[in-house]
Amino acid sequence: MAGELVEFEEGTIGIALNLESNNVGVVLMGDGLMIQEGSSVKATGRIAQIPVSEAYLGRVIPWLNLLMVEVVTTLQERGAMEYTIVVAETADSPATLQYLAPYTGAALAEYFMYRKQHTLIIYDDPSKQAQAYRQMSLLLRRPPGREAYPGDVFYLHSRLLERAAKFSSSLGEGSMTALPIVETQSGDVSAYIPTNVISITDGQIFLSADLFNAGISDLTSRTRPSNIRFCLSHFS
C-alpha cells in the first residue's frame, strides 16, 4: 500500500510512495550505503508512526541533534522547555526524514489535543519540507510542475496545517494552533510555497528583513489579523 514501510535485508527502512504495475518507488529513511542491486526487501504492513506520551515533554527528537542546543538553551532559560517538544531534522538529514519531521510534531501535538489540552505547534519552515518533498518526487520520476514541485505539493501542506483545530465541548475542547514560518526570497510572497501556505492559513504577519537590517526592531511591515493561525514571512 502507498506509504507502507518496507525493510531491506541489511536493516534500512524505506517508505513506498510510488505503486506502479511493475515497480514500487521507495524512498529511504537512512543513507542506504549497504543496499546493493539484488538485495531483498519486504513489506512490513505498517505505516510511519511514532509512540506518543507526556514522556516526550522537555526532549529533542532526535536527541543527538546538537544544532538545536541554542534553541533548547533559550527555552530552558525562559522556563519553557519543560512543556515543549522539539522535533528537528537538519539540512544534511535524509530528505525522507525532513519530509516526515512536521508530521511527527503534528502527531505529538494531537496527542495532547485529544487529552483536552491546548497546544501550539510551530513549523519552521514548510518551504524546507517542500524542497525535501520535491527532491524525493524528482528521484521517483514524478512529473514536475511549477518550480519543479510535484502536483500534490499543496496537499502536502494542507493535510498538515488543517490538522490544527478546536474541539467542541462534547470532545473535550482541546485545541491545536499551528504557526507556520515561511522564509521568503527578497520579500517575495508571491512565490509558489508562500502563496500556498497563505491560502491555507487564516491570516498572515509579514516581517521585513530590510527593516531589521536598518536597525528598526519593529519588523512588522503590514499585517492581517487572524483568530486561529498565522503565517510568518521569516528572514534568515
Are 43 and 97 contained in the same domain?
Answer: no
Are 29 and 108 contained in the same domain?
Answer: no
Are 35 and 145 contained in the same domain?
Answer: no
Residues with Cβ within 8 Å of residue 194, at least 6 apart in sequence? 127, 182, 184, 188, 231, 233
* C-alpha separations of 50 from 87, 130, 146, 151 in Å: 12, 21, 33, 28
Lowest mean pLDDT among 144-158, 161-175, 196-210: 196-210
Percent of the chain whose pLDDT exceeds 90: 64
- State the pLDDT at residue 1: 83
Are 168 and 138 contained in the same domain?
Answer: yes
Name the pTM for this structure.
0.86
Residue 43 or residue 207, greater confidence: 43
Q: Once rounded to an integer, what is the mean pLDDT over residues 24-33?
A: 88
d(CA 19, CA 13): 17
Are 55 and 44 contained in the same domain?
Answer: no
Report how many domains make up the chain.
3
Are 95 and 211 contained in the same domain?
Answer: yes
User: Which structural domain, as residue segments, surrounds residue 100?
Assistant: 89-236
Are 76 and 128 contained in the same domain?
Answer: no
Closest-CA residue to 25 (of 139, 111, 158): 139
Residue 170 or residue 187, greater confidence: 170
Are 56 and 170 contained in the same domain?
Answer: no
Q: Give per-residue pLDDT as tens, 58-106.
A: 999 887 667 788 888 999 999 999 999 999 998 888 999 999 999 999 9
Are 131 and 55 contained in the same domain?
Answer: no
